[in-house]
A and B are shown apart, each in its own frame.
Chain A
Amino acid sequence: MTQLPTRTEKKLGLVIDLDTCVGCHACVISCKGWNTENYGAPLSDQDPYGADPSGTFLNRVHSYEVQPEQGDAQLIHFPKSCLHCEDAPCVTVCPTGASYKRVEDGIVLVNESDCIGCGLCAWACPYGAREMDQAEGAMKKCTLCVDRIYNENLPEVDREPACVRTCPSNARHFGDLGDPNSDVSKLVAERGGMDLMPEQGTKPVNQYLPPRLKDRLAQDAEQIDILAPFLEPVATEAKGFLNWLDKTLEKL
């Protein structure tokens, strides 16, 4: 049913820390790996070793340069996947009921055997979170690794989305954003988590933590030399044999 539930019991989602993401793309690769081998149709590639490769990815990492009015520009790596919106426009436009939002945990999923591949849900998503698989002809999207997080065949430590599990800089966090006492909700409150494109009215569940201030070299130029005094030459005047050698060589 493509009508959205009035409320969901949980709001499972991701918190992505733009301060610590190093842009290594490990989450992209682990996502592609897990989701190619598990739930639904594989994520196909077209011409992967040729001149014009492209393929289906559920998670991609952009990089942005942000130039403040004063000071140096910051480089910010920006992973983007489905935000599992509370008011998901991709779900309501679906004509077949293939797209739906789960009442129990708020995950937005596609039932691939019902998808006619019209692409309208991808048109309705402002974030580019849905991609039509060119080999399958059906819509693919982030499942929040629904086949990992409840999977009792996996060790408990692995019961989180593949992107979160693999992130080497701990820039990705997974949890219930509907519970104000969860670790992710506390993190969002503490760091001022934000919605992407709030004016689109999608009410995204996933939150982004803004980067902290950094790279202030230009404004604080004198601060650079905090250790410089310790590096001053200690022996300004040579003595003894070296002094004689120095003077002798000067005279030559």
Chain B
Amino acid sequence: MHPAPSVIFFSTFSGLGFGLMIFLGLGMPATTGFNAFIFFTIAYLLAVGGLISSTFHLGHPERALKAFTQWRSSWLSREAWCAVAALILMAVYGAGLVFFDQRWIIIGLLGALASLATVFTTSMIYGQLKTIPRWNSPLTPANFISLCIAGGALMAGQTTAAIILLAIAGVIQVATWLRGDTAFAQSTTDMATATGLGSIGTVRAFEPPHTGTNYLLREFVHEIGRKHAQKLRIIAISLMAILPIVFLLLPFNHFMALFAVVAHIGGVLTARWLFFAEAEHVVGLYYGKR
């Protein structure tokens, strides 16, 4: 799949922002007043910034409101609803903390739940696709949610929770990669089933339909950078989980916490780039590219 920067930034930063909102909604840390204002500003910048960046890949962003209509069948539509619900609930909850010194616990819990649901719906947009065997697994939502919660704990300064959650997220990330590596072969979709010609013999793509490229090849048959995949995985897991855990285990200081956050973001961005770059769409079979 083509690793579009807008979608990589969206899923990384909004995941982190909604992760922070989950912890704020649970009252961890239990701040009020100006401190709360800082935390909520960071959460909103991340979440809303990510959402805005995701509209950059739309052909017609001015029609985006129509995306609220199909929640019965579409995960993308459900994501839109959950995101708006989370942002509104957390705004009300945050206003209580910042301006009225009040903790409206129910609204906070609902906001945390909606934030979690937003990340789940995002992950299901990818996880539902049978056409991309690497993504079509419960590990995809597990991967997104574990990273979101671990990143949220890190941002919210929950040191102990963050260490445990980062370790869990790291394990799930490695499991996602390992399962993904055999997913295409296990999907049973190959050139024989794609063309239906397998009963005659071995199928080989002889001539593509055109001499140039096309939308399908640009969008679904990305092959650049795969040769560095193993190195990038090591970089990603080190930055995303191992380094932040080391930084957090050291005696606490704010710079170490900042390093941990920066390393984590770098690691998640790398992992998200790999998530797209390594994903193979079955349509590539028609072009003999799998």
Contacts and interface: CB of A to CB of B under 8 A. Distances in A.
12 contacts: A54-B215, A64-B203, A66-B197, A68-B201, A76-B197, A94-B70, A95-B67, A95-B76, A115-B63, A127-B286, A139-B59, A210-B199
Interface of A: 1-4, 18, 25, 28, 52-57, 60-69, 73-76, 78, 80, 89, 91-98, 114-120, 122-128, 131-132, 134, 136-139, 194-201, 208, 210-211
Nearest to A140: B215
A115 B66 CA distance: 9
A200 B130 contact: yes
Given A95-B70, A200-B130, A116 B286 contact: no
A28 B132 CA distance: 27
Nearest to B77: A95
Given A52-B213, A64-B204, A93-B73, 17 more contacts: A54-B213, A57-B214, A66-B200, A66-B203, A67-B204, A73-B201, A75-B206, A93-B75, A95-B67, A116-B66, A120-B76, A123-B281, A132-B219, A139-B59, A199-B187, A210-B200, A211-B197
Contacts, number: 196
Q: Is the interface of A mostly helix, strand, loop or mixed?
A: loop
Interface string B68-107: 1110111111001000000000000000000000000000
A63 B207 contact: yes
B176 to A, nearest CB: 19
A129 B206 CA distance: 20
Interface of B: 1, 57-61, 63-64, 66-70, 72-77, 80, 125, 128-132, 187-189, 191, 193-197, 199-210, 212-216, 219-220, 281-283, 286-287
Contacts of B208: 62
A39 B127 CA distance: 34
B69 A97 contact: yes
A91 to B, nearest CB: 8
A134 B191 CA distance: 28
Contacts of B283: 125-128
Contact of B63 (A25, A116, A122, A208): A116
Closest 6 CB pairs of A and B: A117-B59, A137-B59, A60-B209, A68-B201, A128-B283, A96-B66
Q: Which of B195, B202, B205, B281 has the most CB of A within 10 A?
A: B195
B67 A116 contact: yes
